[in-house]
A = this chain, B = another copy of it.
Amino acid sequence: MASGVEEVRNKQVILKDYVSGNPKESDMYVTTSSIKLKVPQGSKALLLKNLYLSCDPYLRIRMDRIQGSNVFTSFTPGSPLSGFGVAKVLDSGHPEFKEEPEQFFKIHHTDVPLSYYTGLLGMPGMTAFAGFHEVCSPKKGDRVFISAAAGAVGQLVGQFAKLMGCYVVGSVGSKEKVDLLKNKLGFDEAFNYKEEKDLDAALKRHFPEGIDIYFENVGGKMLDAVLLNMRPHGQISVCGLISHYNLNQPQGFSNLMSLIYNRIRMEGFAVFDYFHLYPNFLDMVLPYIREGKIVYLEDITQGLESAPAALVGLFSGRNVGKQVVLVSHE
């Protein structure tokens, strides 16, 4: 501390090499180095202390060699993973940095849990909002199906749909999550896909008249079964295809003809295209949170060392609700 500037330990989660197949904890390692608590003079950089980090399935995509995307770029082996999070500004050379939701934005409303800004009030919340309200045209009475419905995004889509007066069913991977959806999140029905031998039959049981809107988080066999159960002019909002991220083999589909049979619109979207709507989103959602009309399930692990396991756990559905890593309370 010859320079009079405090130096502290800084931990990072490093990607070992590009990942193929299911991600494993050993694909990452945690390093500790040190960092000076001051930005270089004249720089407009921000020095941040991470409080909460967001574990999201899309990070798996970035751990791969990505081809043909202008949405995602690959991480670099040997370098730290980066993602969304809530951080405190410790030092700043930037007089008054412009709000840019995609990169940094200032948190104005602190009467809600700060961790919500990695989920409900962050990228996953905007994803649910854009993918449901902007990509689809939901209306009262619509029959809405959501896969990965207890996840960071799915649990919100279900609640947004209920607030609109839709009939809402979610699929999840455990009995515990079924109970949460029905008893805590207000879904009309829910089922555990792992206990269903015939996904088509499960969907027909819950949607005897078919599905108007499918919010797609998983792909694979669920998508194939949903295609058989869409109502005419149904809409499929393709938010994620988590079952494809780890695939080395092509996924076989039998029911693509349904696109024609039922005049289905299937649309992929990227939340980044909708960040300009973030103020509208906050106006809508903050009152709901304060009135208790929206609840949000979080699964918070402690310490950056727990991040690799938390990230890997997303792909086996270990998390219940939004997976957050608590780095520091303040």
Contact = CB atoms under 8 A, between A and B. Distances in A.
Contacts of A66: 261
A68 B270 contact: no
A139 B227 CA distance: 31
A29 interface: no
Contacts of A279: none
Contacts of A252: 249-253
A269 to B, nearest CB: 5
Interface in A33-86: 61, 66-72
A154 interface: no
B262 A232 contact: no
Contacts of A232: 70
Nearest to A61: B257
A314 to B, nearest CB: 16
A267 to B, nearest CB: 4
Interface in A185-241: 219, 224, 228-229, 232, 238-241
Interface string A164-186: 00000000000000000000000
Contact of A256 (B241, B257, B258): B241
A273 interface: yes
Contacts of A287: none
* Residue of A239, A245, A252 with highest tally of chain B CB at under 10 A: A252
Given A68-B228, A70-B232, A228-B68, A260 B268 contact: yes
B219 A262 contact: no
A265 B267 contact: yes
Provide the main secondary structure of the chain A interface. Answer: loop
A300 interface: no
Given A68-B228, A228-B68, A250 B260 contact: no
A68 B262 contact: yes
B268 A259 contact: yes
A321 B322 CA distance: 55
A177 to B, nearest CB: 24
B70 A261 contact: yes
A268 B261 contact: yes
Given A251-B256, A252-B251, A257-B241, A263 B219 contact: no
A89 to B, nearest CB: 32
Given A251-B256, A256-B219, A262 B228 contact: no
Contacts of A69: 257-258, 261-262
A327 to B, nearest CB: 29
A26 interface: no
Contacts of A259: 238, 241, 266-268
Given A253-B253, A256-B251, A266 B269 contact: no
Given A71-B262, A251-B253, A265-B266, 9 more contacts: A66-B261, A68-B228, A68-B262, A69-B262, A219-B256, A241-B256, A241-B260, A245-B257, A266-B267
15 contacts: A67-B228, A68-B255, A68-B262, A70-B232, A70-B262, A72-B261, A219-B256, A238-B259, A241-B257, A244-B256, A252-B253, A258-B268, A260-B268, A260-B269, A262-B268
